[in-house]
C-alpha cells in the first residue's frame, strides 16, 4: 500500500504547465507533418496514362481482330451433304444435339420435348436435331414447321401425346 501511496504523491506534486502541454502535442503534429511530406501529389494524372492506355487498347483490339479473322476462315463440313463452308459465310445453321455435327441442310428442327429445353434470359431455348437423329415416322418430324421430337424425349413419359402421333 505504501508503494501506491507514493505514486499518488508524485502525481499530485507534478504541476501542469503550458510548456508541458506543448511538449506532449508536438510529436503528434510532427507525425502529421511527416505524413504530409511523404504524400506526393501530381499536378495532373491524365495525359500520360491515357495515351499509354490508348496504345495498349489499340494493340489488344488488333490482336482480337486478327484472331477473329483467322477463326472465321476455319472450314467446316456439312454433316449431310459433305459440302465445305467457312464460318464467315454463316451458311451453317445448326449443330445437332445428338450426333454433334454441323448442318446447313437436312434439318429436322428444334425439339419440343421436356428434356431438351432450357430457359435462358426468360426465353425458352431448345436443342436442334438433324433428320438422321429423329424418328422420321412421327408426324411432327415430317412437317416443315421447325419443330421436332428427338428420340430421348420420345421415350419420356412426360412428353405430351400430341407430339407422338404417327
Per-residue pLDDT in tens (0 to 9) along the chain, 166 residues: 555 555 555 555 556 665 555 555 444 445 555 555 566 666 665 666 777 888 889 999 999 999 999 988 889 999 999 999 988 888 888 999 999 999 999 999 999 988 888 888 999 899 999 999 999 899 998 888 889 999 999 999 998 888 888 8
Determine the Cα–Cα distance for residues 105 and 97; give it in Å rounded to an integer. 15
Q: Is residue 71 part of a domain?
A: no
Range of the domain at 103: 92-164
Q: Is residue 24 part of a domain?
A: no
**How many domains does the chain contain in total?**
1
Whole-model pTM? 0.59
Residue pair 149/134 in contact by the 8 Å Cβ criterion: yes
Q: Is residue 115 part of a domain?
A: yes
Q: Is residue 136 part of a domain?
A: yes
Cell 479473322, located at residue: 69
Q: Is residue 131 part of a domain?
A: yes
User: What pLDDT sits at residue 60?
Assistant: 94
Apex 137 CA angle, 132 and 138, nearest 5 = 100
Assign 103 to helix, strand or coil.
strand
Q: Is residue 87 part of a domain?
A: no
Q: Is residue 70 part of a domain?
A: no
What is the per-residue pLDDT across 58-73, written as a single tens digit (0 to 9) for each?
999 999 999 999 988 8
Residue pair 148/97 in contact by the 8 Å Cβ criterion: no
Amino acid at each position: 500500500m505504501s508503494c501506491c501511496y507514493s505514486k499518488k504523491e508524485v502525481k499530485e506534486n507534478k504541476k501542469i504547465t503550458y510548456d508541458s502541454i506543448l511538449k506532449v502535442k508536438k510529436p503528434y503534429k510532427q507525425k502529421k507533418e511527416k505524413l504530409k511530406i511523404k504524400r506526393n501529389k501530381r499536378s495532373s494524372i491524365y495525359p500520360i496514362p491515357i495515351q499509354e492506355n490508348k496504345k495498349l487498347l489499340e494493340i489488344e483490339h488488333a490482336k482480337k481482330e486478327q484472331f477473329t479473322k483467322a477463326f472465321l476462315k476455319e472450314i467446316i463440313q456439312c454433316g449431310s451433304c459433305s459440302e465445305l463452308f467457312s464460318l464467315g459465310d454463316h451458311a451453317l445453321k445448326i449443330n445437332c444435339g445428338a450426333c454433334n455435327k454441323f448442318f446447313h441442310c437436312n434439318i429436322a428442327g428444334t425439339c419440343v420435348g421436356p428434356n431438351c429445353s432450357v430457359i435462358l434470359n426468360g426465353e425458352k431455348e431448345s436443342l436442334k436435331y438433324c433428320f438422321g437423329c429423329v424418328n422420321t415416322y412421327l408426324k411432327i418430324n415430317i412437317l416443315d414447321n421447325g419443330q421436332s421430337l428427338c428420340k430421348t424425349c420420345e421415350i419420356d413419359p412426360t412428353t405430351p401425346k400430341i407430339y407422338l402421333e404417327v
